[in-house]
Amino acid sequence: TNGGLTLKTRDGQFSTKVGGRLQVDAATYGGSPDMGDGTDIRRARLYLAGTLYRDWGYKLEYEFDNDSITDAFITYNGFENYQIMAGNFKDPFSLDYMISANNTMFMERALPTAFNAGRHIGVMGARNSKHWTLAAALMGDTVNDTRDADDRDEDEGWGWSTRGTLAPINEAGKVVHLGLGFNYRDLQPNNEVRFSQASETSVSSVRIVDTDDLANADTMLKSGLEFATVMGPFTAQAEYIRASVERDNISDADFDGWYLQSSYLLTGESRPYKNGVFGGIKPNRRVGDGGIGAWEVAMRYSSLDLNDGAIEGGEADSMTLGLNWYPVPMLRFSANYVHVLDVDGGTFDGQEPDVFQVRSQWAF
């Protein structure tokens, strides 16, 4: 019970955990466009999760900030290294999105997370081992039925997603990670496709690039390349994602984005890595125990291009500086400065907003 309620039976057959997270943000904006300074609860979640009869697992998590179900599934772990999952969970695609929002290097994910695949209801099979992982999922629609009264007799959209990762080196403090992912979606008439992105901030709801609803979208394929490395206190992580939307009777639309981010833990910790994703930082010496916690500085360049032919969603590049303080495990305080280098096209063509934002977080 060192954070949340975790109970286990002695024989290891059962465990139960009540956990949650809270992220509270404050942000101030400079330059143009005006974005509206203010505060926000970014995430506020509670969950119940556990193990039943050793081989079975379950989870139900709810996001109170926007009243939505996030993780809600049942798993079977009876085959060593394999996992079978059914329910609502993240499509396996994109390292940045697979890493829990509790553990990302910056307060918000990089610009190309505009292409993350989100959560859908479906089934997944996954293989996790020390040096490689492979996950494949067949997904239906999102939890919230996107069909309205007029098209409730239409079938829902569906898709598949797959992600493979390779870690030729995977030791404590020494990791090389490579990843490849594909995410396909068959869109029903009722599914709208729209890509947009804020300037790596969420207190303001202003989106600096935005394609608007893409007409006649039929199917969509996203593909992504991942690279990451850990060398002691240093982490580097990069991704390239491309999204191709096939449209009936109109030319297809292609968009892409990439980012490169790196961080350095001044207090000497290393970013943990397991099953193809990064975990959270645990300080070597805690505040209240003679230490100053863990301190991390980070830097990112990210780019997102939502222009394609007649579609002028805008292209944005931004530079982000970050500082994270982890006084004790489960707590995190962050300060981020984002400078948008240029918006090219779209509503905010030529503008260069600045963001300064802070976050307080507990999570377990």
The two three-digit tokens of residue 280, written as one number: 């959270």
Site for a second copy in 273-292 (CB under 8 A): 286-289
Smallest separation, CB 136 to a second copy (Å): 17
Query: Checking DSSP bridges between strand 331-344 and strand 294-308, what pairing results, if any?
Result: unpaired
Binding of residue 3 to a second copy (CB under 8 A): yes
Under the binding rule (CB under 8 A), the answer on residue 321 touching a second copy is no
Nearer to a second copy, 90 or 120 (CB): 120
Determine if 58 is a binding residue for a second copy (CB under 8 A).
yes
The Cα–Cα gap between 77 and 75 comes to: 6
Give the footprint of a second copy on residues 197-236 (CB under 8 A). Answer: 204-206
Residue number, 57 or 272, with CB nearest to a second copy: 57
SS3 198: coil
Q: Which residues 154-183 are close enough to bind a second copy by CB under 8 A?
A: 154-156
Q: If DSSP states are collapsed to H, E and C, what string results for 271-316?
A: CCEECCEECCCCCCCCCCCCCCCEEEEEEEEEEEEEEECCEEEEEE
If the CB atoms of residues 77 and 244 are measured against a second copy, the closer one turns out to be: 77
Number of Cβ within 10 Å of residue 139's Cβ equals 26
Residue closer to a second copy, measured from CB, 225 or 328: 328
Which one, 65 or 171, has the nearer CB to a second copy? 65
Distance in angstroms (rounded) separating the CA atoms of residues 15 and 12:
7
- Contact residue for a second copy among 79, 82, 86, 171 (CB under 8 A): 86
Where in 112-131 is the site for a second copy (CB under 8 A)?
120-122
Dihedral sign, Cα of residue 272, residue 278, residue 281, residue 282: negative
31 interacts with a second copy by CB under 8 A: no
